[in-house]
Chains A and B, each alone.
Chain A
Amino acid sequence: MNLVDLKSHLAAMCRIRAFEEKLTEIRKRGTDIFGSIHLYVGQESVAVGALAALKPDDPVFATYRGHGWALACGVPPELIFAEIMGRETGVCKGRGGSAMFSAVQWRFYGENSIVGAGAPMAVGAAMSASFRGTGQVAVAAFGDGAMNQGAVHEAMNFAACKRYGVIFICENNNYSEMTPIAEMVGDENLYKRAAAYGMPGERIDGNDISQVKAAVLHFSEAARAGKGPALIEVMTQRLVGHYWGDMQSYRPKGELRQLAEVEPIARLRRELHEQGVSTEELDSIQASAALEIAEAAERAHQAPLAEASDARSHMYA
């Protein structure tokens, strides 16, 4: 990848990191945001790398850990903050919240708070693309834990038997919610399951954004050429709890310190620095992302609350 692309990916990843950090700060205050928030801190390279490889109208189905996917799809941060703050200007006027919003204008077909449930929906979007002849490829992003859900198995078989263009992106962050995935499977090589469905499966290092982009590009081109779905197991990590407030007592001592060394933003900064980009420039990329996000959060905060008299609307056509 060239330097310009890498810098723009760093900026996109820093925006997501800054968004999640700002969200945490607001959640801690306890006045604007309530309930659970599931953060994407540490996994930013996956959404940013995948979206860099996709076309602008490829539909994306994510999970409750989906703020990063929405931002990578181009949803303005102000509208996501507003959604999570229950504002009228939120993408779903406060009906989706942190864990279930969508933003179809940016082909973000939504988060999903049921583990694995987005996978068959993405298959449907690919089915739709196939009948309508649009050439779109659908993305289903989910965690390692979702690999143990029946919906995901059914979705993979259905897509493979019909050769629908779906990229199943399994973000393996090592924890199935709060339990090590290794303890919940007979074979930790989740990508190998693809072979059982008759589709390609590959495991990649998600902390290297170039690998993410290359894999998604490769399999999406194959899907567009009618070769059907693929499973990409992206090895990644979350640097925070399953949800904000998770004490993470299940993590081995020192794990977070080790992960901080390999996580994708630190890694990309090192890579860019090795290619001659100054620390000052890298810091300024990070700082302008933080500034943009802080301003977006403030504008969302200033927006009016979603109209309570409207709480029953949008039930039926």
Chain B
Amino acid sequence: MPEISSNLKKMNYAAAANAALARALTERAECVLYGEDVAKPGGVFGVTRNLQTMFGERVFDTPISETAMLGAAVGAAMTGLRPIVEIMFIDFSLVAMDQIVNQAANVRYVSAGTLSAPLTIRTQQGVLPGSCAQHAQNLEALYAHIPGLRVGMPATVQDAYSMLLAGIACDDPTLLIEHRGLYFGAEEEIAIDGPIEAVSGARVRREGDDITLLSWSAMVHTALRAAEALAEEGISVEVLDARWIQPFDWETLFASVAKTGRLLILHEANLTGGFGAEVSAKTNEVLFGKLATPVMRMGLPDVRVPAAKHLQEALLPQQEDIVARVKSMVG
């Protein structure tokens, strides 16, 4: 078998997701792609642009019926297709919660493995200026709570490509939660056409010794900027990008925290019941004796998300807040 070699190509996060979809549709005849306004309009953020031209009726628009879209995805996945469904905003997935939680997540276990639901839900979230409280929630913890689902949170252009392909190849129902604020960031050279990864694995985005900063999705970039600022003050921060929160890479996290003795978890979601709470609990269970300080969390306080930019900024942890928190933990 010839070795799969990757090629380097420059693109942004949205284009990377588009390239991943094009590759999946090319390589897998059983893939179909549908959602609201994804075919002719190419998606509200342009992520699915040109795919209908390339793949014809395998890329199609649907009624504004999230329950029918995701219910059909479950039925189609049980019977031989590998559907990829775009849910325009993660907030809209709540309309179809039954099909995700009561249906898709149950298929394999309840059938004792005689059925499976290899479907991918591509969606996006993010607290962004002007987005109202029904378009700005960070809901990853809701889905990470449900056994049977896989949940990915790509932060980088490379991961917008690689993690989406991993999710599509996965035989379990997978949510790929992109971040709206990352779609039109800088172009980066990424490796495409390489081997398809498994659904797992955190990445150390910056090595350091004094404290571990764990994050996922767009907050990884805030964490990296804070780490940069802290380096100038002589504090060495290790930044971990969880990438997948289900399955979560405990091994990489524990190795890092065993080394640094400190853990600060950052997420854009609000704190109570956020996935950071699970990470904190488990780290305490496993590494209690090795911790120099209690595990800390930063995220949105428990409020609804306001639309106004300055109100959002008043609530979301900013770089300087993170710097101050790290100093208080390391000092």
Contacts and interface: CB of A to CB of B under 8 A. Distances in A.
A317 B63 contact: no
Contacts of B171: 317
Interface string B130-173: 00000000000000000110100000000000000000001110
A80 to B, nearest CB: 14
B71 A123 contact: yes
A124 B77 contact: yes
A93 B102 contact: no
A127 B65 contact: no
A132 B68 contact: no
B58 interface: yes
A105 B115 contact: no
Contacts of A161: 63
Contact of A124 (B75, B116, B148, B172): B75
Interface stretch (B42-50, B104-112, B189-197): B104-112
B144 to A, nearest CB: 14
Interface string B90-109: 00000000110011001011
Given A61-B75, A102-B114, A123-B72, 5 more contacts: A92-B111, A120-B67, A124-B71, A132-B80, A154-B68
A114 interface: yes
B71 A128 contact: no
B2 interface: no
B296 to A, nearest CB: 31
14 contacts: A91-B114, A95-B112, A110-B115, A112-B103, A122-B75, A123-B72, A124-B81, A127-B76, A128-B76, A128-B80, A154-B68, A315-B109, A315-B147, A317-B171
B22 to A, nearest CB: 18
A124 B80 contact: no
A168 interface: no
A47 interface: no
B143 to A, nearest CB: 14
A72 interface: no
A85 interface: no
Interface string B69-91: 11111111111110100000000
B65 A158 contact: yes
Contacts of A113: 102
Given A104-B114, A317-B108, A120 B79 contact: no
A121 B71 contact: yes
A95 B78 contact: no
Nearest to A88: B112
B269 interface: no
A317 B81 contact: no
A314 B75 contact: no
A162 B61 CA distance: 10
Q: Can you list the 7 inter-chain pairs with the closest CB atoms, starting with the nearest?
A: A120-B71, A124-B75, A124-B72, A121-B75, A317-B171, A154-B68, A124-B76
Interface in A122-142: 122-129, 131-132, 138
Interface string A304-317: 00000000011111
A275 B55 CA distance: 58
Interface residues of B, number: 43
B175 interface: no
Given A95-B111, A110-B111, A121-B78, A157 B72 contact: no
B65 A128 contact: no
B75 A109 contact: yes
A124 B114 contact: no
A127 B112 contact: no
Contacts of B72: 120-121, 123-124, 127, 155, 158
A131 B118 CA distance: 16
A12 B78 CA distance: 28
A151 B69 CA distance: 10
Interface in B224-262: none
- Among B78, B115, B118, B148, residue most surrounded by chain A Cβ atoms (within 10 Å): B78
A315 B114 contact: no
A100 interface: yes
B284 interface: no
Contacts of B148: 315-316
A150 interface: yes
B329 to A, nearest CB: 35
A120 B58 contact: no
A114 B65 contact: no
B70 to A, nearest CB: 8
B32 interface: yes
A314 B109 contact: yes
Contacts of A104: 78, 111, 114-115
Contacts of B68: 120, 123, 151, 154-155, 157-158
Contacts of A103: 114
A117 B98 contact: yes
Nearest to A155: B68
B61 to A, nearest CB: 10
Contact of B110 (A92, A138, A151, A317): A92
Contacts of A138: 75
B71 A314 contact: no
A86 interface: no
Contacts of A289: none
Nearest to A315: B109
B62 interface: yes
Contacts of B67: 120, 150-151, 154-155
A100 B110 contact: yes
